[in-house]
Structure 1
Amino acid sequence: MTASTDRADELADDKSLRVLSTSDIAGIDITLTDVVDVVEQAYRTLADGQSDNPRKLTVKPADGHSVSYAMLGRDGVRNVVAIKTSYKHGLHEERDKQHYYTALTIYDDVTGLPVAMMDCGRIGSLRTPAVSALLARELAAPGARSALVIGTGTQGRLALPFLATTLPNLDRLMLSGSHPEGIAAVREQLRTYFPDRDVEIVTDLRAATADADVIVATAGGHTQAAVEASWLKPGALSILVGHGLAPSTLHEADRVIATSEAQMNVTGTDMADAEGKLPAVDAEFPPVLAGQSAGRTSATERIFAYNSGLVVTDIALGHRFAQLALAQGLGTKVALWQ
């Protein structure tokens, strides 16, 4: 047996786990277009029945000071299985006093070996605005020219660059936020990807909403912003990621689209009506994206879209990052099962 054969046999049975830290993931370059393409493929694969995305598990104490999620999924094109965990502590505190940890562990479903375990913070910070941008591309009214983002946290900071990627004809980019450092971060992110573009900071939310073709609400739970359905122009698309939309935008919408109706029923309870009920969705987004279900059906209908994220998108993007990391020799190998 040759040395090369010995090495191949060793790699074929390498059960060590490569751990990719926050700094490892932060050092990997990836374009916004690449992120959108990966996320779109994950949705299309799910719509075609090649992937699995079971409902997430949630635990939360009675006083609501923390929340934890566990999500399992399988990508049938990449042939990987993965588990994502998420834990946030201090929900009643300001953002800088909260603790948040999320991790993704990926296994190769062909070899049966582990691929990597990684901090999933950057994965989520890219995946979620990419999904919102895809929702906007598919559901915005024809000729949409203006977008409003509510919130300047993690999800708000990349919302505009992704929207400008999928809707390049947007000529008015607006931001509603109350944290100066967050506003500065949003402006910096936009100029990083689009040096010639700037964001308009709005203080009259109602007036800004009346002119917005696309509204993406990403604010935290402490926000005072609450866009009402009566503020929306005909044909407006409202995308809920975090907070910033009043329940009326959902219950009075002409059409409701969700990335997952089951997940909306789990995580969207703050949008319930006085009887504690949520309306049925008209369509889920994966089949809309794949052309199997109708998205927008008229130019003037007001659409509400719920972006809860699906673990298959985390898996696809996480696997892409793992491939790039392995090619660069990043990460630390841990003999966890040896």
Structure 2
Amino acid sequence: MTDSATTSATTGGSTGDDTTLRVLSTSDLAGLEISLADVIATVEGAYRTLHAGASDNPRKLTVTPEDGHSVSYAMLGRDGSRDVVAVKTSYKHGLDKGRAEQHYYTTLTLYDDVSGLPVAMMDCARVGSLRTPAVSALLARECVAPGARSALVIGTGTQGRLALPFLLTALPQFDRLLLAGSHPAGIAAVRQELRAHFPDREVELVTDLRTAAGDADVILATAGGHTRAAVEAGWLRPGALTILVGHGLAPSTLHRADRIVATSEAQMRVTGTDMADAAGRLPAVDTELPAVIAGITAGRRSPRERIFAYNSGLVVTDIALGHRFAQLAIAEGRGERVSLWR
């Protein structure tokens, strides 16, 4: 392996038997300890390796029925720093229903490209729940205006609950934390998650979205598809950074932005079609996050420009973080071996 911080995926975990597969369940992964800083560093490393040309991240495949009640993704990639190949699948059903009636399944299968042996198949939900806010934190770190201190999170689902802890890990100077949400349980969960990581910080619940958006230096839109929240470009202060993770921003924030940054322009054109204009068009991206992290381009060019950032998942970040989890799980003897190829 070329990553000195990462031992071989088979160390302590493989028996040299290519007929079995280690399966790591939701509960196997839930108890593993990993710091937010570790997650951010792992994701950042994956971007650096990708930009260096050592990793492969082909465009994702998407399938959805005409009525839009479900969506499926398949992503194949290779992490060159770990010599790991992986396939991620994602299937969500019930997009036309409430959150409680929806079904969501996502898996990640990892293979060691040195030994040729499978590493593990795992539930990818926790990987995704950590990877995505880590990417938002990196976007904020690279694109935030000088002197920024206030952040608004829209939505109280999984991504909304982790948005502020990750943001504060990357930008600890933020001292005004705003939240726009309507679900009492979700609001309580956001506050609980923040206290768990930053017990000295408090979040302020807002009811006037327009005023809150105008007060915020950074807006993280993490709401689900049924949200009525839609921040308009005209509400934003000079220098504002908007980061789209789920929903909560109107298309004007993209089309009227002074600068557009995406994790991947190709991915944005697959998953960001709801932000298209009346003619079905999306504007060109000015730069991508891997190039910004590598220091090739700037995330921000001037203090007053309004920046729109699109956070879409790249499978190389799932591979890096999933492999990190697999190592931790294997070291603790977690998971079940299944005779899949016998």
What TM-score does the superposition give when structure 2 sets the normalisation length? 0.95
Query: Quick one: which of 176, 193, 217 aligns to 2:180?
Result: 176
Q: What is the Cα deviation at residue 15 of structure 1? A: 3.7
Q: In structure 2, what is the Cα distance between the partners aligned to 1:15 and 1:35?
A: 31
Corresponding residue of 1:232: 236
Which of 38, 45, 48 aligns to 2:42? It is 38
In structure 2, the partner of 1:141 is: 145
Question: Is the Cα contact below 8 Å between 1:15 and 1:114 reproduced in 2?
Answer: no
Partner of 2:268: 264
Other-structure match for 1:318: 322
Q: Which residue of 239, 246, 253 maps to 1:242?
A: 246
CA distance in 1, matches of 2:124, 2:36: 17
Aligned to 2:15: 11
1:200 counterpart letter in structure 2:
E
Q: C-alpha displacement at 1:11, in angstroms?
A: 2.7
Contact kept, 8 Å, 1:21 with 1:331, in 2: the verdict is: yes
User: Are 1:15 and 1:113, in contact at CA under 8 Å, matched by a contact in 2?
Assistant: no
Tell me how far apart the structure 2 counterparts of residues 167 and 11 of structure 1 sit (CA, whole Å): 43
Query: Which of 209, 213, 216 is residue 209 of structure 1 equivalent to?
Result: 213
CA RMSD of aligned residues (A): 1.0
- C-alpha distance in 2 between matches for 1:173 and 1:222: 24
Give 1:73's match in structure 2, choosing from 70, 77, 92: 77
- Paired residue type of 1:103: T
1:54 and 1:111 map into 2 onto residues whose CA distance is: 23
CA offsets, 1:15-58, max 9 Å, x none? 42100000001010100000000000001110111100000000
| Contact 1:53/1:72 (<8 A) preserved | yes
For residue 215 of structure 1, what is the amino acid of its counterpart? Answer: I
Instruction: Give the C-alpha shift of residue 104 in structure 1.
Output: 0.2
Partner of 1:287: 291
2:123 is aligned with 1:119: yes
Q: Distance in 2 between matches of 1:142 and 1:310?
A: 28
4+ runs deviating over 4 angstroms: none
Structure 2: tracts of 5 or more residues without a match: 1-11
Q: Structure 1 unaligned runs (5+)?
A: 1-7
Counterparts of 1:16 and 1:199 in 2: how far apart (Å)?
Answer: 47
What is the alpha-carbon distance in structure 2 between the residues aligned to residue 279 and residue 64 of structure 1? 24
Count of residue pairs the alignment pairs up: 330
CA drift at 1:14: 4.1
Residues in 1 aligned to 2:19 and 2:292: alpha-carbon distance in whole angstroms: 39
Distance 2:39 2:17 in 1: 31
Distance 2:216 2:155 in 1: 15
How far is 1:295 from its partner?
A: 1.3
Partner of 1:3: none
Paired residue for 2:335? 331
* Structure 1 counterpart of 2:90: 86
Equivalents in 2 of 1:15, 1:144: separation in Å? Answer: 54
CA deviation after TM superposition for structure 1 residue 217, in Å: 0.1
Provide, for residues 64-89 of structure 1, a one-character-per-residue CA deviation record: whole Å limited to 9, x for no partner: 00000000000000100000000000
